[in-house]
Structure 1
Amino acid sequence: MLFNLRNLLTAATLRKSSKQLVQHFRSGQPTQTSVNLKGRDLLTLQNYTAEEIKYLLWTASDLKQRIKYKGEYLPLLQGKSLAMIFEKRSTRTRLSTETGFALLGGHPCFLTTQDIHLGINESLTDTARVLSSMTNAVLARVYKQSDLDLLAKEASIPIVNGLSDSYHPIQILADYLTLQEHYGCLKGLTISWIGDGNNVLNSIMMSAAKFGMHLHVATPKGFGPDPNIIKVAEEYSKEYGTKLFFTTDPLEAASGANVLVTDTWISMGQEEEKAERMKAFQGYQITMQTGKAAASDWTFLHCLPRKPQEVDDEVFYSPRSLVFQEAENRKWTIMAVMVSLLTDYSPQLQKPTF
Structure 2
Amino acid sequence: MSTRHFLTLLDFSKEELMQVIKRGSELRLMQHEGVIYQPFVGRTLGMIFEKSSTRTRISFETGMGQFGGHAIFLSPRDTQLGRGEPIEDSARVISRMVDIVMIRTFEHSIVEKFAQYSQVPVINALTDEQHPCQLLADIQTFIEHRDSIEGKTVTWIGDGNNMCASFIHAAHQFGFQLRVSAPYGFEPNADLIKQYSHCVELVEDVNEAVKGSHLVATDVWASMGQESEQNTRARRFAQYMVTRSLLDKADPDVLFMHCLPAHRGEEISYDLLEDPRAVVWDEAENRLHAQKALMEFLLTDKIKLA
TM-score interval, smaller chain = over 0.9
Correspondence for 1:48 = 12
Q: CA deviation at 1:252?
A: 1.3
- Is 1:314 paired with 2:300? no
Does residue 139 of structure 1 match 2:102?
yes
Structure 2: how far apart are the matches of 1:339 and 1:38?
Answer: 16
- Say if 1:38 and 1:340, in contact at 8 Å, map to a contact too: no
Distance in 2, matches of 1:102 and 1:81, equals 10
CA RMSD of aligned residues (A): 1.6
The match for 1:264 is 220
In the alignment, is the contact (CA less than 8 A) between 1:83 and 1:109 conserved in 2? yes
Superposed CA offset, 1:100-119 (max 9, x none): 01100111000000111113
Structure 1: runs of 5+ lacking an equivalent: 1-36, 238-242, 349-354
TM-score w.r.t. structure 2 length? 0.95
Mapped to 1, the partners of 2:3 and 2:16 lie a distance apart of 14
- Which of residues 317, 324, 330 is equivalent to 2:281? 324
* Offset at residue 227 of structure 1 (A): 1.6
TM-score norm. by structure 1 comes to 0.83
Could you tell me which residue of structure 2 aligns to residue 72 of structure 1?
35
- What is the CA-CA distance between 1:39 and the residue it aligns to? 3.4
Distance 2:271 2:217 in 1: 15
Q: Secondary structure at the match of 2:85?
A: coil
Q: 1:335 aligns with which of 289, 292, 296?
A: 292
| Aligned twin of 2:232 | 276
Work out the CA distance in 1 between the residues paired with 2:177 and 2:305. 28
**Structure 2: where are the runs of 5+ without partners?**
none
CA offsets per residue over residues 84-137 of structure 1, 9 Å max, x none? 000111010000000001100111000000111113132111110111110011
Which of 253, 264, 283 is residue 209 of structure 2 equivalent to?
253
1:299-350 Cα deviation digits (max 9, x unpaired): 11000000011111222211111000000000001101111101246987xx
- AA in 2 matched with 1:262: T
| RCO higher in structure (CA 8 A, sep ≥6) | 1
How far does residue 214 in structure 1 lie from its aligned partner after superposition? 1.4
Seq. identity, %: 38
**Is structure 2 residue 81 aligned with structure 1 residue 118?**
yes
Any idea what SS the aligned residue of 1:283 has? helix
SS of the aligned residue for 2:78 comes to coil
Match among 59, 62, 80 for residue 99 of structure 1: 62
SS at match of 2:71: strand
Is the contact between residue 192 and residue 253 of structure 1 (CA under 8 Å) also seen in structure 2?
Answer: yes
State the aligned residue count: 304
Once residues 171 and 219 of structure 1 are traced to their aligned partners in structure 2, the CA distance between those partners, rounded to angstroms, is 20
Deviations for 1:23-44, whole angstroms, at most 9, x for unmatched residues? xxxxxxxxxxxxxx99310000
Give the one of 241, 249, 255 matched to 1:293. Answer: 249
